[in-house]
Structure 1
Amino acid sequence: TTTTTVTGLTNGSTYIFKVAAVNSVGTGAYSTSSTGVLVAGVPGAPTSVVGVSGDTQVSLSWTAPSSNGGESITDYVVQYSSNSGISWSTFTDGTSTTTTATVTGLTNGSSYTFRVSAVNDHGSGNYSEVSISSAPHANSWTSVHIVGVMDIPITIDASATLEIFTRTHYANVWEGESTTECGTNAADSYIYLLDSSDGVLASDDDNGMNRTIDGVVTPCNYYASYISVDVSAGSYKIRASNYSTAIGWAITGDPYDLEYRIVYP
């Protein structure tokens, strides 16, 4: 026959061919080389899938496969699992060739794993390696009733903004910044963010993290303090206290509430 199928080729590569006839005498001259033929197939697997947690969602990004299979990529399929990959669900986000996606409708506090496949006109390629588990977080306020010197442990899973808010009859000071309760009265209430290593207090230094203090005295002797700090992943403690003297910690006056929330991108 004058047809054959050449196998074992690499998708996305271009090949040229030539043919010679054979009889009992031997092999004849080869034909003129064909024009280049692109071998097309499904794309390779995407790489470097990364997830950032948000409120009931995880924002994913990945790197396009090194081979598109010889045809342009037309879509990506994103799947997620809540049982460590035993079963998978496909996130329906329409058709897109961007290398990002935000998977919504997830349950805060639950861990998920993700994988991504590239698609071209020949079909879906292999899935990426499974990404590290990500747990969505609610960007909601948590209230703690302060009745004495307290260290409130928190865990930051990824770069985020930590917001702390208090209302008390005592001015709130971040890392020793000075302010006043009313007129020239000295402030005596402190809020600290402390690095924590294995549950052990490590430092009361903010290590140069961005900080903003926004306080308004309304009325006199009633102080509202809001603190916003950019933090990286890790374990921390929020210390709420009145620093009455240089040698001790003491809460005076009425107990007050401290509210905080972790805001992920």
Structure 2
Amino acid sequence: MNIHILSLFPEMFTGVFGSSILKKAQEKNEVALNVVNFRDFSGNKHHKVDDYPYGGGAGMVLKPEPLFNAIDSLTTNKEQKRRIILLCPQGERFTQQKAEELAKEEELIFICGHYEGYDERIREHLVTDELSIGDFVLTGGELAAMTIVDSVVRLLPNVLGNAESHEKDSFSTGLLEHPQYTRPVEYRGHKVPDVLLSGNHAEIEKWRREQSLQRTLNRRPELLDQVDLSDLDMKVIKSLKEQQ
């Protein structure tokens, strides 16, 4: 996968893209990460990328030329449909399902905005997607881009080494992940549940499913409406509600 980031502050990405899973993914040639300073494509001697909004109002608006020019400069396969993603509070809420969708693409381009907003022609004639990581406002799109890139890249083949590492993550199944335990068996009087030490894999999977259902019911009950639940799941949920 090729991922391009258009930003006015490319130095923000150095630590994140050069560490942990993202670093390993690049070393394995599973992903190429390219950060572009779109100020270099302003087309004016002052490298100005923003201007006052027509009609008046507070703040500055990003001009269309730098972003159009920057994307035109990318050595990408122009015949291939590219996902050009605008990071914006007005965008679609980013989810694990969206991460899984984007992980199937070969090329992603993220636009990190600043100032009051974007010239509307950027939305209408350049981008294919608008994404938001939550109902709050950040100074710019850089932190959102880092979050989404990390979420997508870890889903690529061979990045984590074990596909189950992400297939059973919270939200991947539609439910929150079950509790996890490791050694020691007992710590400060708190023991690992006996079922996990039993060696009975069927019972362990049953316990984990019930724990996921319980955790989702308690913490994010609205998610249950979006999951394909079995008859057994429904019985477990009914029992949990009765206990509450």
Shorter-chain TM-score category?
Answer: under 0.3
Q: TM-score w.r.t. structure 2 length?
A: 0.25
- Bigger proportion of residues as helix: 2
Q: If each structure's strand is expressed as a fraction of its own residues, which one has the higher value?
A: 1
User: Which protein has the larger Cα radius of gyration, Structure 1 or Structure 2?
Assistant: 1
TM-score after normalising by structure 1 = 0.24
